[in-house]
Chains A and B, each alone.
Chain A
């Protein structure tokens, strides 16, 4: 783990963070992670007022953290400054909502059909852009009845895992949740769905530290019992997974007991691909794949890269006979959760994604696959290619499932 409070003294101002920042490459005046992170943090710690609008433009992709030779937690410093930053009223209101995808999901799924119809209307989107500064060119994802439940136990002696669904699976794609459960069951696990809240990444990204802490507390309470009993937590969304693995971004550090419980969850959280890859390494992966013919392009989300687990899905999907898969390795998609929905940031977001769109267009795959839901929107928005979660590709490849 990154030794937090001393990290700032490890910053040698070598500027390597600036060489990988996606925003710095598309916005000529963006000061970059070195300035917004360690440099201004020194002043902030001295109580000097250095509030700047620029912190709002940080994508939170963690690329700066990963390239730092001294393991300075650059993006965490920027996230703290974001929480202190004062926004104009309308943007503040909008971001209050954006920080709460769980609440939006809850309201939108009271009558999903009506919400989806309303959100698909151009006039509604235009109104939202005028009143709420929400970019009208982006479609909202469709909402679905939140009916993902713990399935009947698949077998008595199976190792049980706790699925952390995340807001997207809960409110938009419960079918993806069921796919993931089926995939885990195909590989010998019994699955329980966690009664969890939003992981808190959107809260931090939108500068709401209080909410992020409250969600972290609720999630610790919702999962501690199961983790104590030896269950592993599985996250299929890379941002949720990263959040859990970093003990909720260190939001609970002030409360020692909660922090210890969060650490325990962190130590037992696995990315879905990571868990299946472990099965594969132990020779326990179900490899009864039906041969297929599929040309895929894989985009590794930033929060997948920042988990430091290699490229499990890339290696898993390559085991399916007839699948060819290209790792695009073309940087950040630019969406960063709610960032791309913000009117004033839409152009930056699309410019960041430009390299990725180009390489998808060059690769000409049948489909793009990526773990992150908002990377999926952005790729479908920026290119003409269908984009799905790798779990769907893998489940489809099981012959039993097809036959059954």
Chain B
């Protein structure tokens, strides 16, 4: 049994890579995911904006890709809500609103609601989250959007000394691990939330927590909880990444975390092997097809001579030759002003690449 032979090796674990790996498994491919770190999605707020949607190839395919991604997120316990037809204004750390197409449920619920009494709750000592500033700005900005909501500001204190400064990452870690901490947070929130139908918290409800766990926490509090993304890395974004990655592992995708791909090897034009730069000596993976989702400016991996993609998302050299018939690009690999893409396109290209990889099956086996 060859453990290092895969139908597809996906390189990169951002939105494009995760989607490609999930799509490949959906097609019953044996897949591996090679990644150094979680990609740039977690460095944003953890939601998907509507930017660039209009530039997608076909609306139908985009819809299908997004539906696929949302379904996988739901199974992974980090469901995203929304659709591409409406953009919902969601509050940011700066107290204004950004138009968002899709967001984790806890962020999605934070849209302005004139008929709901809302409080912004900060945590004493938490760096970069000012509930007074946010409440005032949100009230003002919601007026400008025509919603006229009023936000109150409240603050809670936690007895645990989290050092200085307190960060949402640290609170999230304790939220995940420590039932006593959750109980203390619950008590503090309960008194701060009194009289409000909804509270807006900095994104801090766990790095790994599932939809179910957050819903349970909300249920126990007896009041609607929304999260607002804070400085990067955003806790809600990390939560999506962690849950999707561990879900993919459960689906049988082999994860190679920590070391970059060092080289690709070609046999009879096809890309059939890649080497991971693990310590000592490289680790060899054999592949029927490869999906590169390594993000912006990583064209040097292919020798810097890839200038554009063909209609099947395979890279072409400056002379117009195909680099390899079984090598697909997903996400913002060849990035410049013209091809700069939004998050939704990462999902679209990932979905497409995962499916295209299935079409090469059995053709390029490395012997």
A residues with a Cβ closer than 8 A to B are 1, 14-16, 18-19, 24-26, 28-31, 65-71, 242, 244-246, 266-269, 277, 280-281, 305-312, 315, 319, 329, 354-355
Contact = CB atoms under 8 A, between A and B. Distances in A.
Interface string B1-22: 1111100000000000000000
B3 A68 contact: no
Contact of B280 (A67, A246, A277, A355): A246
B36 A307 contact: no
A31 B163 contact: yes
Contact of A319 (B1, B170, B260): B1
B3 to A, nearest CB: 4
Given A25-B176, A67-B37, 5 more contacts: A26-B177, A69-B37, A266-B280, A305-B258, A310-B283
A266 B277 CA distance: 13
10 contacts: A19-B233, A29-B162, A67-B257, A68-B36, A69-B36, A277-B3, A281-B2, A308-B278, A311-B254, A315-B1
Interface string B132-168: 0000000000000000000000000000111100010
B247 interface: no
A308 B177 contact: no
Given A15-B233, A25-B176, A29-B162, A242 B42 contact: no
Contacts of A246: 279-280
A1 B279 contact: yes
A15 B169 contact: yes
A246 B281 CA distance: 10
Contacts of B258: 65-67, 305-306, 308
B257 A66 contact: yes
B205 interface: no
A69 B278 CA distance: 15
A312 B43 contact: no
Contacts of A311: 254
B4 A310 contact: yes
Nearest to A285: B1
Contacts of A67: 37-38, 257-258
B124 to A, nearest CB: 14
Interface string B250-287: 00001011111000000000000000111111010000
B238 A28 contact: no
Contact of A16 (B38, B170, B246): B38
Interface residues of B, number: 41
Contact of B37 (A16, A305, A354): A16
B207 interface: yes
Contacts of B279: 1, 242, 245-246, 266, 306-308
A66 B280 CA distance: 15
Q: Which of B170, B207, B246, B280 has the most CB of A within 10 A?
A: B280
A312 B278 contact: no
A197 B238 CA distance: 42
A315 B163 contact: no
A309 B174 contact: no
A310 B254 contact: yes
Nearest to A246: B279
Contacts of A28: 160-163, 170, 174
A324 B161 CA distance: 44
Contacts of A244: 280
Contacts of A306: 258, 279
Interface string B315-329: 000000000000000
A281 B4 contact: yes
Contacts of B283: 308-310
B2 A24 contact: no
A31, A245, A309 — most chain B CB neighbours (10 Å): A309
B222 interface: no
B77 interface: no
Contacts of B37: 16, 67-70
Nearest to A242: B279
Interface string B211-238: 0000000000000000000001100001
A65 B260 CA distance: 12
A134 to B, nearest CB: 27
